[in-house]
Amino acid sequence: MGRGWGLFIGLLGVGWLLCSGHGEERQQETAAQRCFCQVSGYLDDCTCDVETIDKFNNYRLFPRLQKLLESDYFRYYKVNLKKPCPFWSDINQCGRRDCAVKPCHSDEVPDGIKSASYKYSEEANLIEECEQAERLGAVDESLSEETQKAVLQWTKHDDSSDSFCEVDDIQSPDAEYVDLLLNPERYTGYKGPDAWRIWSVIYEENCFKPQTIQRPLNPLASGQGKSKENTFYSWLEGLCVEKRAFYRLISGLHASINVHLSARYLLQDTWLEKKWGHNVTEFQQRFDGILTEGEGPRRLKNLYFLYLIELRALSKVLPFFERPDFQLFTGNKVQDAENKVLLLEILHEIKSFPLHFDENSFFAGDKNEAHKLKEDFRLHFRNISRIMDCVGCFKCRLWGKLQTQGLGTALKILFSEKLIANMPESGPSYEFQLTRQEIVSLFNAFGRISTSVRELENFRHLLQDVH
């Protein structure tokens, strides 16, 4: 018995040395261990472990989700990339060709999407009339009573306080359709002080952090050190679960974007061809436990936390998409029907995930305090969505706007559980609605996070033999 316990304790000690980098084994540690050794087991504030997420995402969900996102309904996103930055005027626009976005010509977008871009559903043939009525600022009396009511309810919905994002006015002449498959998120060369300022404003002014607390590895701050890191995480752990979750969502989004940039890096640029692929050095600089002073693995765990939040939102919104009146309308009846079947298969798969995040711990205290905290939460995130108009790289701005709107839609869903539960089984849903823009951003944003989780497996393999 004694020898058994001695062997067990010895093995624990070896494992600790390998993961912490202590002892002589430190020099034998691979880059994969330095990036991923701490990214395992259960996540903070969750009952789910990383290994369960990896298996579920990479082998059960990822292939079908990518197929859905390649369909016409999800590949075309309408966005205004010409909106001025509301916070500062000295934006240095990225002049690199990889920063540019190629908008769609009018004839490239399916007619059904253009006519029904404002809303969704079976009543798509009435949408154009509804849009015209709204633009005129009145409800056309020649419309049916049901359609008049829908117009008024939709207007009320769009102006309501449940939105976590400041969305683009898709009726603006500056709003254009973009084919997301032809404008993929990847490394553009946009970096340095301008890019740092975006993230610094997000973290320093919108994550409930006092100015006296310095964030680790802030490139715009001086005097970084271990004591600053310890102070920051002591402060973070002392926050309520909602504010701590807010920071982890933003950190997770930041990490996911950095994974994409490292996985689709410009490796070769000649007059013959451009070659994009995995840049392990770039990945290490962002996530290696030693190079980032322990910060990198924390970022990756926050990415998994973000995955769980958006996964949970998709599981909760299933009843909305199951209604017979809902369709992914593009005008192609056969493809629309097939895509709805695929969408519901994906959502039922997500529903079956065994370790969903429990959002009931959010805003569960005193009703007045909870209401104020929820409003602060919403306004802070809404402000972050406005900061995306300050990004100097247009392709980065496109994907930043889409992913913040997608996360904002996920949060809206999580905080609308009762409204979703009370939806009618058929006919318009007046209390809870999603626009086509919200639907496209929701699934594409989750597709980006899903891709990040898949790419982490690729980087694990690539870094196994790197020291």
pLDDT in tens, 89-98: 888 788 788 9
Distance between CA 421 and CA 70 in Å, rounded? 30
Q: 390, 85 in Cβ contact below 8 A?
A: yes
CA-nearest of 328, 327, 406, 399 to 72 is 328
- What pLDDT, on a 0 to 100 scale, did the predictor assign at position 121? 46
Contact 168, 80 (CB under 8 A): yes
Which pLDDT score, from 0 to 100, does residue 22 have?
46
Per the annotation, binding residues for FAD are 186, 188, 199, 251, 254, 286
Kindly indicate the confidence band of residue 27, based on its pLDDT and cuts at 50, 70 and 90.
Answer: low
- Residues belonging to the binding site are 186, 188, 199, 251, 254, 286
Catalytic residue flag (residue 35): no
Residue 221 confidence (pLDDT): 64
Q: For the chain, what is the largest distance between any 2 Cα atoms, rounded to a whole number of angstroms?
A: 88
Query: Which pLDDT value is given to residue 233?
Result: 87
Options 35, 99, 104, 396, the catalytic residue: 396
Q: What is the mean pLDDT of the chain?
A: 83
Q: pLDDT exceeding 90 applies to what percent of the chain?
A: 51
The pLDDT of residue 358 is 80
Q: Provide the token pair at 213.
A: 């607390």
Residues 298, 301, 306, CA angle at the centre, nearest 5°? Answer: 125
pLDDT band at residue 226 under the 50/70/90 scheme: low
Task: Kindly state the average pLDDT of the residues 240-249.
Answer: 90
Q: Pull the structure tokens for residue 370.
A: 């909870």
For residue 321, is pLDDT > 50?
A: yes
Q: What is the Cα–Cα distance from 389 to 427, expressed in whole angstroms? A: 36
The pLDDT score that the predictor gives to residue 9 is: 38
pTM: 0.85
Q: What are the residues whose beta carbons fall under 8 Å from the beta carbon of 153, sequence distance 6 or more?
A: 428, 430, 433
Known catalytic residue at 396: yes
For residue range 142-181, what is the model confidence (pLDDT) as tens digits? 445 555 555 455 444 444 456 888 888 888 999 999 999 9
